[in-house]
């Protein structure tokens, strides 16, 4: 297949490009600088710049672009960037999909849709929650509507916390744990809905190939874990003590408004993937942490 990807240089995008190319697919990368290879296409979502004719013949559109929610303190300016980087890129690629008519548009999304669910279990049938990130995700998914309204199959992949060594939450936690200074965050009772990187990539490829799947799809492991359980699994896998819990007030001082997401709880179940027969390689937190221990 011929596949075009926005956000291809990010944590997930980098691994997805490698995997798809290894499978023999032609992958075109959307880049924000001058293209230097035939496999690159320039775009500027903020300005609405993209030559749709360069996407002709593409079977799959994928957008994973968006400013990292934990990459900077949540000032008003950065919150605006979190929103615009997602909505602008999705909207532009959705308009291109409406014209080109690929087989499927995989639109990036997140479990932030559900807000803080405490210990209540939610799946794709659950309504949107409240809070800044929930509002962002609602607008993010709505931005893909031009494609679905044109008859293109759209899948909104609501990704959880991706367990990876080279980016995301765990790239920050690993060095601390390896020094024996790790511990639960806040009460430790909050649920973290995670997914290993290899399951994330496999799930994206699964929804590409399964024409019966459309709409929201949770990309999370089937066994969400509390932060205390995550801490325990990391301590076991890396053979290090977890003796230094971080109190909630310290996180609030350090992270500002973003601390609400770290201390918040999301108990998310991947109902669509499970019902469609997807098999997770890492269904539980210990298995996912072992993928981080490999060289």
Residues in the chain: 295
- pLDDT of 49: 97
Domain boundaries, the chain: 2-164+193-221+268-275
* CB contact set of 199 (below 8 Å; sequence gap of 6+): 219, 221, 280, 281, 282, 288
pLDDT > 60? residue 243: yes
- pLDDT of 182: 74
pLDDT > 90? residue 286: yes
Strands (E) located in the chain: 2-6, 26-31, 40-44, 49-50, 60-63, 104-110, 121-122, 153-159, 161-163, 191-192, 194-196, 215-219, 225-226, 267-268
Q: What is the pLDDT of residues 44-83, one digit of tens each?
A: 999 999 999 999 999 999 999 999 887 778 899 999 999 9
d(CA 236, CA 199): 22
From the options 3.10.129.10, 3.40.50.1220, 3.40.50.720, 3.40.630.30, give the CATH code of 2-164+193-221+268-275.
3.40.50.720
pTM assigned to the model = 0.94
- pLDDT of 253: 61
Q: What is the pLDDT of residues 116-138, one digit of tens each?
A: 999 999 999 999 999 999 999 99
Q: What is the pLDDT of residues 135-192, one digit of tens each?
A: 999 999 999 999 999 999 999 999 999 999 887 777 777 887 777 767 778 888 999 9
């Amino acid at each position: 297949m011929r596949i075009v990807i926005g956000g291809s240089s990010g944590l997930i995008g980098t691994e997805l490009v490698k995997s798809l190319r290894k499978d023999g697919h032609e992958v075109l990368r959307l880049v924000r600088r001058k293209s230097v290879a035939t496999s690159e296409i320039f775009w500027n979502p903020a300005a609405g710049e993209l030559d749709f004719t360069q996407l002709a013949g593409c079977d799959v559109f994928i957008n994973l672009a968006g400013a990292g929610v934990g990459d900077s303190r949540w000032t008003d300016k950065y919150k605006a960037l979190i929103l615009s980087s997602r909505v602008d890129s999705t909207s532009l690629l959705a308009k291109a999909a409406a014209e080109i008519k690929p087989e499927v548009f995989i639109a990036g999304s997140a479990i932030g849709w559900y807000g803080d669910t405490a210990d209540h279990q939610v799946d794709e049938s659950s309504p949107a929650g409240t809070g800044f990130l929930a509002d962002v995700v609602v607008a993010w998914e709505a931005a893909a509507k031009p494609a679905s309204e044109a008859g293109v199959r759209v899948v909104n992949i609501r990704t959880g916390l991706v367990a990876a060594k080279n980016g995301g939450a765990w790239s920050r936690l690993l060095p601390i744990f390896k020094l024996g200074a790790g511990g639960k965050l806040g009460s430790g009772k909050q649920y973290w809905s995670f997914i290993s990187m290899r399951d994330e990539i496999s799930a994206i490829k699964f929804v590409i190939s399964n024409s019966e799947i459309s709409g929201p799809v949770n990309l999370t492991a089937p066994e969400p874990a509390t932060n205390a359980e995550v801490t325990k699994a990391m301590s076991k896998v890396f053979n290090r003590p977890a003796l230094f819990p971080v109190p909630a007030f310290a996180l609030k001082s350090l992270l500002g408004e973003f601390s609400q997401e770290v201390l918040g709880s999301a108990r998310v179940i991947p109902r669509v993937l499970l019902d469609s027969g997807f098999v997770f390689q890492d269904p539980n937190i210990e298995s996912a942490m072992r993928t981080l221990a490999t060289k």
